[in-house]
Amino acid sequence: MELYIKEALKEALISYEGTVVLVSTEAAFYEEWADRIIDIEEIV
């Protein structure tokens, strides 16, 4: 994904006030703004 698209998506998700379920293999994308992270590998 292009960097400018990632930045636009990140800003949209940050400003969204509802619940977001995000599935990603790129932790750097969400670690700085996610309120809660559930790692599926830790559950299984």
Q: Distance between CA atoms of 37 and 17, rounded to whole angstroms?
A: 17
The structure's pTM equals: 0.69
Which residues does 13 contact at the CB level (< 8 Å), separation at least 6?
20, 22, 33
Q: Which pLDDT score is estimated for 6? A: 92
| Tokens found for residue 33 | 């703004």
Position 1 scores a pLDDT of: 76
pLDDT for the residue 39: 86
Q: What is the DSSP string of 6-41?
A: HHHHHHHHHH--S------S-HHHHTTT-S----HH
What are the domain boundaries of the chain?
Answer: 1-43
The pLDDT of residue 40 is: 83
The pLDDT value given to residue 14: 93
Note whether 30 and 22 are within 8 A (CB): yes
- pLDDT tens-digit profile of 1-44? 799 999 999 999 999 999 999 998 899 999 989 999 988 886 66
